[in-house]
Amino acid sequence: MSTTIHRPVIILGSGPAGYTAAIYLGRANLSPTLIQGMQPGGQLTVTTEVDNFPGFEEGISGPELMRKMEAQARRFNTDMISDLVTQADLDPARRQGGPFRLTCDSGAVYTCDALIVATGAAARWLGLEAEKRLSGYGVSACATCDGFFYRGQEVAIVGGGDTAVEEALFLTNFASKVFLIHRRDALRAEKVMQERLLAHPKIHPVWNSAVEDILGDPQAGGVSGIRLKNLKTGETPVLAVTGVFVAIGHTPNTALFGDQLDKDATGYLVTKPDSTATNIPGVFAAGDVQDRIFRQATTAVGTGCMAALE
Ligand code: NDP
């Protein structure tokens, strides 16, 4: 049977919100414990250049920014735990009057008096059977991770937000041609990014189009094409591509909490106005997991700081 380890305050998540909370708690001598989760460093570890994080006038790579944040949190004595929480007992009825209780994948059990939830958000998929079948064989949700493998090849990226545009531009470093598939004829991405995308000779936007299927066989070279449906004309052209990158947004990582914490209609944790307090006293939420609107590293840092101070 595993022993239970009690800590005054535990932070769940290792993105900008989690590390910022750790830095503030550490500097207040509150000995924070941070459980890093499945993807240490969070979403910024799969992004390229971060140009809008203040203090880095020439920009900084996402992984390098997160490495620095982690090092800073460690400098203030954060106990960094490499594990994944698989069960959280937060509701007073489930705790029977005891502290919050977290069970990890390793079997370790932690209890704490205060909890900061900074579990972030995860990439969303189109819901096609082929996405699963061809995942790792030409289908990816991370151009930064996998773009390198497509040197000289033709690829497609799906989506019209900042992620899709940023990743399309990144893919031009390797691919010979990048099709950007978008279901409308206007992009959601920042104007300056749109201009860069539309001016790029390697990028070919395909407007008003949905992905009907991804073609290919994992045993025979992986992805070989993508079948689209033009939502205006009903035509179903096939593009011969060897890579498909899905960049259609994210879902907040809140499944762990079931219905213990209040969520909005889209699954984001609800916090009190001007606060990171959730519906359970002692549980605070920071970063993308509670930010449906801004979802920036800088806003995550802000709410991570708020959670620690609260
Ligand atoms: P967004 O939610 O902003 O965009 C998602 C895109 O995918 C939209 O264009 C949407 O289409 C499309 N989409 C959604 N669902 C589907 C579907 N089922 N089928 C086809 N297309 C679909 O997500 P992002 O990940 O791009 O960005 C998230 C947040 O992060 C934003 O606030 C963004 O500004 C920010 N961000 C900032 C960056 C930066 O500043 N460097 C970099 C990356 C992200 P439609 O437009 O029709 O809704």
Which phi and psi (to 5°) does residue 212 adopt? -85, -40
Q: Are 167 and 173 in contact (CB under 8 A)?
A: no
Distance 161 CA to ligand 1 centre (A): 3
Each residue's pLDDT expressed in tens, for the chain with a length of 310 residues: 568 999 999 999 999 999 999 999 999 999 999 999 999 999 888 766 788 899 999 999 999 999 999 999 999 999 999 999 999 999 988 888 899 999 999 999 999 999 999 999 988 999 999 998 998 899 988 887 788 889 999 999 999 998 899 999 999 999 999 999 999 999 999 999 999 999 999 999 999 999 999 999 999 999 999 999 999 999 999 999 999 999 998 899 999 999 999 999 889 999 999 999 999 999 999 999 999 878 889 999 999 999 999 9
Cα–Cα distance for residue pair 302/296, rounded to 1 Å: 10
Instruction: Report the residue among 158, 185, 188 best suited for mutation to probe ligand 1: largest number of ligand atoms under 8 A from its CB.
Output: 188
Cα–Cα distance for residue pair 44/39, rounded to 1 Å: 10
Instruction: Report the residue among 52, 295, 298, 301 best suited for mutation to probe ligand 1: largest number of ligand atoms under 8 A from its CB.
Output: 295
| Binding-site residues, ligand 1, Cβ < 6 A | 52, 126, 158-164, 166, 183-184, 188, 248-250, 295
**What one-character DSSP code corresponds to residue 160?**
-
DSSP string computed for 219-258: TTTEEEEEEEEETTT----EE--SEEEE---EEES-GGGT
157: closest CA among 216, 197, 192, 217? 197
Cα–Cα distance for residue pair 158/125, rounded to 1 Å: 10
pLDDT digits over 92-111, tens only? Answer: 888 888 999 999 999 999 99
pLDDT digits over 20-77, tens only? Answer: 999 999 999 999 999 999 999 998 887 667 888 999 999 999 999 999 999 999 999 9
Cα–Cα distance for residue pair 15/165, rounded to 1 Å: 22
Nearest protein Cα to ligand 1, atom 18: 126
From the CA of 165, give the closest atom in ligand 1. 26
Nearest protein Cα to ligand 1, atom 13: 248
What residues act catalytically? 142, 145-146
pTM of the model: 0.75
The neighbour count for residue 76, using CB atoms within 10 Å, is: 17
